[in-house]
Amino acid sequence: MTTLEVLGTCHHDCPDSCGWIATSVDGVLTSVKGNPAHPYSKGELCPKVNKFVGRVNHEDRLLKPLIRTGPKGSGEFREATWDEALEQIVAEFTRVRDSHGGEAILPWWSAGTQGLIQNAGTSHALFALLGSSTQYGSVCGAASGIGMATVYGHGLGTDPLQAEHSDQIILWGTNTRLTNRHLWPTINDAQKRGAKVIVIDPIKTITADKADQHIQPLPGTDVAMLLAIINVLIADDLLDHEYIAAHALGFDELAAHVADKTPEWAAPLCGVDANVISELARSIGQIPATMIRGLIGVEHHFSGPTMYRLSAMIPVLTGSHKVLGGGFARSVGAWAEVDDVDTGAVSGLASVVAPDAGQRRSFRQPALGRTLTEQDDPIHAVFIWNGNPILSMPESAAVRRGLEREDLFTVVSEQFMTDTARYADVVLPAAMETEMIDAMPAWGHLWLGWNEPATAPLGDAVSNTELFRRLATAFGFSQPELHLTDMEQVRLAVADHVDLDALRRDGFVRVSSFPENHLPYAEGGFRTPSGKAELVAESFGALGVSHLPEWIPVAEGPGSPQMDTFPLFLQTPKKATRFLNTSYSDLAAHADRETQPHVELDQADAEARGLSAGDTARVFNERASLVLPVAITDRLRPGVVSVPWGYVDSAYGDVIGSANDLTNAADTEFGAGSSYGDTLVQVEPV
Ligand SMILES: Nc1nc2c(c(=O)[nH]1)N[C@H]1C(S)=C(S)[C@@H](COP(=O)(O)OP(=O)(O)OC[C@H]3O[C@@H](n4cnc5c(=O)[nH]c(N)nc54)[C@H](O)[C@@H]3O)O[C@H]1N2
Ligand SMILES: Nc1nc2c(c(=O)[nH]1)N[C@H]1C(S)=C(S)[C@@H](COP(=O)(O)OP(=O)(O)OC[C@H]3O[C@@H](n4cnc5c(=O)[nH]c(N)nc54)[C@H](O)[C@@H]3O)O[C@H]1N2
Ligand code: SF4
Ligand SMILES: [Mo]
């Protein structure tokens, strides 16, 4: 009997990037447990990954390449060899390229694994040689990062663990206890010490349950609230004049701009009492160690990037960047790319990039449905990995319609027969994280993780890096950068400033650019061309960012004419503790059948429609109609309904379509994100 114990790091698209210890016996994975030495996760994983062994060894795992035999979406396939599958891909891609040009091919990926080499690996270089179209933007993280960058020059903020020192923590549109659970103990400790915890969220989440104050705005209206907060900070002179004079640009213009954006102006837009907004603003101005913590939640609105832009301005105005426990904390991922804390030099972890990416046709990642259905010059081949777009992208009925096109050749690399994989012509079996080498960035904390394989991949599954090497060989590309080994890719990816030996030995290493208790902007040092925090978009105007942050009404927002027909705001949050996006919800050990897909309504909205708990209702708008069981909740305010997201469509026989069939795929104001949070619906009894 051979037992192997290795150190690894969770690969999921989750801020916590927990350290684990994986054990295998005679090549079979037997245990994945939290690594007690990991400084952030401290030995705890989560209800999803506690059962990871069951996912890896699951009988439904895809272990062979598959070639479609039935109609698209039917899930009818036959097993094939890698040679046969690759041959078909090369033949079809070549046919598409010859008849429509390389740009009729589209690579599409998400963050199924966020590993530095396993996420996109050498794919960019490969698709560059094919002359394919490219992907830009993201459903996750792009819009908020760029929003912040318009002020700071990049998306970097404070370390959320400094909440340990905060006197006030504002969890602004983040459901920490569900989505970032390993940060909660720090916040909870601060709270016990006397720090005030405020949650700002249209839903009374499990995090709001533990807060000292819950402010419940209408979705997508935070920009109005933030403009009013700045109005009060200025009107009541709760400013750090010295800091502003030394480190900010455009204060006078901002002040003039917000002069009429009073709490009384914002109140009806946000559905929050003007006094509540004033009081919040005053506490922000009066408590120096106020940390604003946002993650992704508010990003998914047209106004998302501007919300992060305004949030980033607050600590500049109050001077809380100078205070341990102050500042604005969002994703800290990019700190791993900064190799010099003083100069802010970035070496770039992106290893093998495509030199001509900017010159090829490019499509916004979350708009996949539109890309596949609305192009005059259509996409004829799509290669999907690390994602499940038919459930995860907005307006996903359009993704389904696109993938149903007979003139589209679809390849999906997957671990399971997802709803998306069902539409593939060729399915390629993907390895699991315990079967591959990787270096794992974190966006919730400052430790880079290592992942040592505990077993070889099961069956014929391969890691993404191996997938792209095989594809390169099949296409006859002998360029060395396409055939780098995993360790060669890791070395390129982590660059010189990471001690690779220590990383492998310990399983994690702290990024050198952010020492403990570092206050990145205590003395200014913003990464804008001016070196100042830009309160007006001095450097970013060219990117379509308005000179001053504006409140812009949207087609599916408060007060819009659409509300006459579709009067309810639809939220589609992550809610289940045992799902990670759309992963796991089809596995019996994770799916709680009592919480099958459903629509939640406030009592008042239900009563107005003659609906009670357990009834069946139609939730609909111009894009789609879903028939769902009704749940009554006190977690929503009247006018807001919720269809929790993450359920695998095909696992629930009589539910046709998923939350994202209803959602809005419109672009964000800037930053190439997704406005799925701006969705209006009507609900009626069936
Ligand atoms: N258990 C679990 N954990 C996860 C995930 C999962 O699926 N399950 N997914 C992971 C991923 S990919 C991500 S990106 C992170 C996301 O982590 P978070 O950003 O914390 O999570 P979200 O649920 O996307 O959004 C957080 C909150 O934002 C609120 N919100 C939505 N719109 C608005 C608005 O207009 N204003 C305000 N103030 N709040 C708003 C939502 O109601 C929600 O409660 O979580 C990660 N962690
Ligand atoms: N309505 C609504 N829509 C949302 C959200 C929401 O809250 N509500 N959240 C949004 C957010 S923040 C995000 S990040 C996205 C997430 O959406 P996706 O990125 O599409 O995430 P998942 O649905 O979990 O799909 C990840 C897939 O990658 C596969 N995978 C994992 N590891 C590997 C690997 O090594 N190789 C390959 N080839 N495949 C692998 C998994 O099996 C899984 O099917 O969804 C977004 N969509
Ligand atoms: S999904 Fe998140 S919380 Fe769970 S083990 Fe992975 S990183 Fe940790
Ligand atoms: Mo995400």
Mutate to test the pocket of ligand 1, among 44, 225, 296 (most ligand atoms within 8 A of CB): 296
Residue 341 predicted with pLDDT over 80: no
Q: How far apart are the two ends of the chain, measured CA to CA in Å?
A: 60
For the CA of 48, the closest atom of ligand 3 is 4
The model's pLDDT over 154-209, given as tens digits with 9 standing for 90+, comes to: 888 999 999 999 999 999 999 999 999 999 999 999 999 999 999 999 999 999 99
| Burial of 544 per CB tally in 10 Å (0-12, 13-18, 19+) | exposed
Any atom of ligand 3 within 6 Å of the Cβ of 628: no
The tokens for 111 are 């963050």
The mean pLDDT value of the chain amounts to 93
The model's pLDDT over 493-513, given as tens digits with 9 standing for 90+, comes to: 887 778 999 999 999 999 888
Any atom of ligand 1 within 6 Å of the Cβ of 13: yes
Task: Provide the whole-model pTM.
Answer: 0.97
Could you tell me the distance, in angstroms and rounded to a whole number, from the CA of residue 139 to the centre of ligand 2? 10
Q: How many CB atoms lie within 10 A of CB 206?
A: 15
The model's pLDDT over 76-124, given as tens digits with 9 standing for 90+, comes to: 999 999 999 999 999 999 999 999 999 999 999 999 999 999 998 899 9
Ligand nearest to the CA of 441: 3
Whether 67 contacts 85, CB under 8 Å = yes
For the CA of 388, the closest atom of ligand 2 is 20
Give residue 593's pLDDT: 52
| 485-497 as b/e: b if 16+ CB within 10 A | ebebbbbbbbbee
For the CA of 14, the closest atom of ligand 3 is 2
Any atom of ligand 1 within 6 Å of the Cβ of 579: yes
Of all protein residues, the one whose alpha carbon is nearest to atom 7 of ligand 3 is 17
Which tops the pLDDT comparison, 578 or 378? 378
Give residue 336's pLDDT: 73
Structural domains for the chain: 66-139+346-446+457-484 (3.40.50.740), 158-330 (3.40.228.10), 561-685 (2.40.40.20)
Closest by CA position to 139, among listed 365, 331, 363, 298: 365
Any atom of ligand 3 within 6 Å of the Cβ of 45: yes
Any atom of ligand 2 within 6 Å of the Cβ of 13: yes
Distance in angstroms (rounded) separating the CA atoms of residues 537 and 250: 9
Residue 630, beta-bridge partner list: 599
Q: How many CB atoms lie within 10 A of CB 57?
A: 14
For the CA of 646, the closest atom of ligand 1 is 7
For 402, residues 6+ apart whose C-beta sits below 8 A from its C-beta are 368, 369, 371, 372, 373, 408
Per-residue pLDDT band for 340 (boundaries 50, 70, 90) equals low
Ligand nearest to the CA of 584: 2
For the CA of 421, the closest atom of ligand 2 is 44
Of all protein residues, the one whose alpha carbon is nearest to atom 4 of ligand 3 is 46
Give residue 121's pLDDT: 83
Could you tell me the distance, in angstroms and rounded to a whole number, from the CA of residue 110 to the centre of ligand 2? 6
Which tops the pLDDT comparison, 650 or 289? 289
Q: Which residue has the tokens 């408060």?
A: 558
Q: How many CB atoms lie within 10 A of CB 523?
A: 11
Any atom of ligand 3 within 6 Å of the Cβ of 46: yes
The model's pLDDT over 421-440, given as tens digits with 9 standing for 90+, comes to: 999 999 999 999 999 999 99
What's the Cα-to-Cα distance from 660 to each of 67, 147, 215, 556, rounded to whole Å? 27, 24, 26, 15
Q: Is 112 helix (H, G, I), strand (E, B) or coil?
A: coil
For the CA of 111, the closest atom of ligand 1 is 12
Closest by CA position to 294, among listed 148, 112, 463: 148
The tokens for 684 are 């009626």
Could you tell me the distance, in angstroms and rounded to a whole number, from the CA of residue 653 to the centre of ligand 4? 27
Give residue 588's pLDDT: 76
Per-residue pLDDT band for 614 (boundaries 50, 70, 90) equals very high
Any atom of ligand 1 within 6 Å of the Cβ of 677: yes
Our CA dihedral for 106, 107, 108, 112, rounded to 10 degrees, sits at 170
Distance in angstroms (rounded) separating the CA atoms of residues 584 and 165: 36
Per-residue pLDDT band for 682 (boundaries 50, 70, 90) equals very high
